[in-house]
Structure 1
Amino acid sequence: MSRPLLVAGGTGFVGRRLVAALVEQGRPVRVMTRHPDRYDGPGTPVRGDVADPASLVAPLRGCGAAYYLVHSLDSADFEARDARAAEAFGTAAARAGLDQVVYLGGLGKDGDDLSPHLRSRREVEARLAAGGVPVTVLRAGIVVGHGGISWEITRQLVEHLPAMVTPRWVRTRTQPIAVADVVRYLVGVLEHPAARSRVFEIGGPDVLEYAEMLERVAAVEGRRLPIVPVPLLTPGLSSRWLALVTDVDVRSGRHLVDSMVNEVVVTESGIREVVPFEPMAYDDAVRVALMERAGGR
């Protein structure tokens, strides 16, 4: 029998879907959580906290590989927290003798003036790899699926407003991807020899401005959404505006809005050689997310 896999962040938006996919394949999966007594999903819950290095020893013991899907976006000092956590996890993974760590990061050109959120994702990549275990990085933009924070902002803006007064970042280009396709890539790079110590960019087939994403969600829902750009709407005001019309907290909203000034599109296609398939179109991903929210399949 193959060695267990550890999923850190296995109770989150992407993580719980990944755990289900791995278990469906018959893989032994450990789901790391601070509260294993509350976990009722697939896999075996194990106690661990990335903020407590000593707690990582037991969950990683005997594992062959681990997924790292952890972030502290809702914390004021998320950059420092995430850097410390990634370093601790990378060190613990090396001591446990893991063969691979797989991390889901964020798109964005390294030469750009990246937002604190995207800079933090890059820092996490480096800290995870510093321990010596080969790290496979998948960089994604907006992940479309029920329960994802970026998708929830998009959906709620469309559904709660008759029209939108928006900042200039609505004209920034992005390359959204369906959460099912993210999971497919995460599963596909596991133990793949061509994926060791590599960074891949992943996205769906559509490159869209944020405004186009909003308009297409409205069209799928049979709505009309006039968009009126206002250049003076600052990131700080944008995040407070989001808090008024969505249930996303101001801090998380601000960190995400800051990232919306950076273009996040795929610039290399190496992943298509390692995990070859055709990702879902944006409109189809939107329909699936809406059906999930409605309780459909």
Structure 2
Amino acid sequence: MTKTVLVSGASGFIGSHVAARLTEEGHRVRAMTRRPGDYRGAGEPVAADVSDPGSLTAAFAGADAAYYLIHSLGSDDFEQRDADAARAFSDAAAAAGVERIIYLGGLGANNGTLSAHLRSRREVEKILGAGPVPVTVLRAAVVIGHGGISWEMTRQLADRLPAMVTPRWVRTRTQPVALADAVRYLTGVLEPPEARGRVYEIGGPEVLRYLDMLQRVARIRGRRLPNLTVPLLTPRLSSAWLKFVTDVDAATARNLVDSMTTEVVVRDDAITRLVPGAPIGYDEAVRLALADRERSARPDHEQPVR
């Protein structure tokens, strides 16, 4: 059944791919962006900004469903910004009579040990769920794909370092998911009635340590990456170091590193029965991300605005 779908963050890493997949499946996509004149992605660009609640009314007009795929991770006050944005989005969805919101949040057991970033993801989930519009939540760890901040940090470390002296958090377990699978799951929950109001956990077929992820990227790139783990590198020191080694800005690096001390693995695989299909393994996800990066670097390639 064809739906009219509002995709927030349509010019971003996940949103651009979700908008493209929905368009391919025959849905009418309203691509929400702050700069519609610059938008080159799939769907019809509509001007709106979650920090300006009044701008959301026109964006939601006629929408059957809406994707919430935005965050303020690069801001020092991201928790407050994200909470305010979620309330504005929820209110606008309710006023427009949208039948469901689909939200991509973060994995991690809510046992009092979540980082500020993951707590914020869970708070956004709670705020959206408190409104009258049913919310379908997908919780993920690292999404492996060209354009993703966490993946880009991993790639740059594996490419640029001759060896690593790492903190203990590199031994934290995580369950990365390929971009193609994340998009497949996000679009796969749009129509099934049983997905309304549900929380799903998504991940790839492997549980890995961050150290494993780095060393496997290096191996795929034809390099070795020796490692020495030391206990004195705190998350704050690690993020300061990342600022000099990678292109990730300081605030984003700090928030991401804080999250890397929390184990994020799938405990419930219900999504695999709702949206069946063999998930892509980590090495293949890495190769796909590297191939996309190579294609985007070609002079004739028209890149979407991130």
TM-score by length of structure 2 reads: 0.95
Kindly state the Cα deviation for residue 3 of structure 1 after the two structures are TM-superposed: 4.0
Distance 1:2 1:194 in 2: 18
Match of 1:5 in 2: 5
8 Å contact from structure 2 (residues 2, 26) kept in 1: no
Q: Which residue of 2 aligns with 1:160?
A: 160
Q: Deviations over 1:158-187 (max 9, x none)?
A: 100000111100000000000110000011
Assess if the C-alpha contact under 8 Å between 2:10 and 2:41 holds in 1: no
Q: State yes or no: 1:215 paired with 2:215.
A: yes
Q: Match of 2:103, SS?
A: strand
Distance in 2, matches of 1:169 and 1:129, equals 32
Structure 1 window deviating more from structure 2 (124-133 vs 256-265): it is 124-133
The one-letter code sitting in structure 2 at the alignment partner of 1:274 is L
Q: Distance in 1 between matches of 2:272 and 2:146?
A: 25
Q: Percent identity?
A: 62
Q: Which residue of 2 aligns with 1:138?
A: 138
Provide the C-alpha distance between the structure 1 equivalents of 2:151 and 2:44, rounded to a whole number of angstroms.
29
| Count of equivalent residues | 297
1:211–1:196 distance in 2 versus 1, CA, 3 Å: same
RMSD: 1.2
Correspondence for 1:292: 292
Structure 1 contact 108–118 (Cα < 8 Å) conserved: yes
1:112 deviates by 4.2
Would the aligned equivalents of 1:19 and 1:29 in 2 still touch at CA under 8 Å?
yes
Contact 1:3 / 1:62 at 8 angstroms: preserved in 2? Answer: no
* SS across alignment from 1:238: helix
- In structure 1, C-alpha distance between the alignment counterparts of 2:41 and 2:91, rounded to whole Å: 28
Aligned to 1:101: 101
1:147 match: 147
Aligned counterparts, 1:244-283, within 5 A: 244-283=244-283
The alignment's TM-score, normalised by the length of structure 1, stands at 0.98
| SS in structure 1 of the partner of residue 46 of structure 2 | strand
CA–CA distance in 1 between the matches of 2:283 and 2:76?
34
Q: Which residue of 1 aligns with 2:120?
A: 120
Q: Give 2:50's aligned amino acid.
A: V
TM-superposed CA distance for 1:66, in Å, is 0.3
Correspondence list, 1:50-129, <5 A: 50-129=50-129
> Is 1:225 equivalent to 2:225 in the alignment?
yes
Structure 2 partner of 1:203: 203
Q: Unmatched 5+ residue regions in structure 2?
A: 302-306
